[in-house]
Amino acid sequence: ENLPATRDHEVKVQVRACALSWVDTKLLSEIKLKKELVPVGREISGVVLEVGSKVTFFQPDDEVVGILPLDSEESGVCEVILVHEHYLVHKPEKVCWAEAAGTVRDGLRAYTALHYLSQVSPGSSVLVLDGASPFGTIAIQLAQHRGAKVISTAHSLEDKQYLERLRPAGARVIDVSHGKIDVAESCLEETGGLGVDIVLDAG
């Protein structure tokens, strides 16, 4: 209700949707962010109401999506919040508010893993564990978009059918629901004995 004035690099956002994702308290303790109260709802989408004097990437009425930083004192479940411009991007026009807030976290994790950490390239082979998870689905599609050969594990018949219906098709699915499949052996078989270049495991 009583937001401070918008500082130079801050953006005032009217929140339209907020994702309530799991809070990694172990990570917070490891990076020495000990707080009595941890704000929930870090992934948001909304409309820019006002921008600070040095903000150049956004203007009022822009539709944005972003992730609040771990040390943020603000919660995404507020109606209006102040966010540093570096934590926001423009929301694609055809993506609704809820989908934008709900996918930005896994999308950023998959993109970071494939682009920055493993430098996936055409011809690479990628193993995505639990491909039917939100993270896995995005990782499969991004890896295929970059020209990689994708192998994925499925933990149930439903997951296997879901992965086989993904478009574009092409990810080889290994059904591990019965526990009788050796994933390493299956990967060697799929890659002509070479093995995979990248393994993505979302835990």
What are the backbone dihedrals phi and psi of residue 54, each rounded to the nearest 5 degrees, phi first? Answer: -105, 5
| Cα 38 from Cα 74, distance rounded (Å) | 9
- Look up the CATH number of domain 118-200: 3.40.50.720
- Look up the CATH number of domain 10-99: 3.90.180.10
Q: Which residue has the higher pLDDT, 1 or 176?
A: 176
pLDDT in tens, 78-112: 999 999 999 999 999 999 999 999 999 999 999 99
| Cα 188 from Cα 194, distance rounded (Å) | 6
Domains of the chain, by residue range, sit at 10-99, 118-200
pLDDT in tens, 33-63: 666 667 788 999 999 999 999 999 999 999 9
* Entry pTM: 0.80
Across the strands, what pairs with 125? 149
